[in-house]
Amino acid sequence: MTDNPFNLDGTVALVTGASRGLGQAIALALAEAGADIAAVSTGESAATAEQVRALGRRFLALRADLSTLEPIARIVEDAVAELGAIDILVNNAGLIRRADAVDFTEQDWDEVIDVNLKSAFFLAQAAGRKMIAAGRGKIINIASMLSFQGGIRVPSYTASKSGLAGITRLLANEWASKGVNVNAIAPGYMSTDNTAQLRADEARNQAILDRIPAGRWGEPRDLGGAAVFLASPASDYVNGAIIPVDGGWLAR
């Protein structure tokens, strides 16, 4: 272990959904700790790139649609070719669709499962092969409060995040002995685009706030500390954990 076990100097982190919101905040936290960033997004990631480079870190933009498996091999190979390795993978990209369970469509089911669960597993698989060959690596899946609870009106999101928690444990069981740590962060109610509908609903917003002991919605930057911990040597004996960053929601 280094003198500073949270130091990420010399590492490369591949972060999906890094153009905004939680993914951007995680990418910046990792860069502040010393990591170079390969950012996967469906659109422009110029704002993330500017901030990462201002910290003196390298930045690689990788545009890809993770609703299919087609780009996954390319993402991994391009990151390794350009930045030299993938030491850290953050599976953050995700979708949410809201509707009553009796009205939920197959399309809304498939689109969410494909991005949130299927692509996350196969990206972990592709990056994991590199990490296992190197004898080390860190994989961080972004789970949810709905990895623990049922939620309402989000059937495919709940299924995907429950599944991601299970996959996190399975990969930890298989890869811990190979030097690869697989863990997850479960964000609480965060102020992002995905929760805009909830925050705009006065009654629902207040009901959520009333249950959060911290008394506020989380901000994307609140995930930074947990991400750096799980990406760093400080977590070398942490395997298969799902760490809530929720303002105390689950404790209520």
**Residues with catalytic roles:** 157
- The span from the CA of 181 to the CA of 128, in Å, is 10
User: Is the distance from CB of 35 to CB of 13 less than 8 angstroms?
Assistant: yes
Q: Beta-strand (E) ranges in the chain?
A: 12-16, 36-41, 59-63, 88-91, 137-142, 180-187, 242-245
The token duo for 85 is: 């390795």
> DSSP class of residue 242?
E
Burial of 31 (0-12, 13-18, 19+ CB in 10 A): buried
> What is the rounded end-to-end Cα distance, in angstroms, of the chain?
36
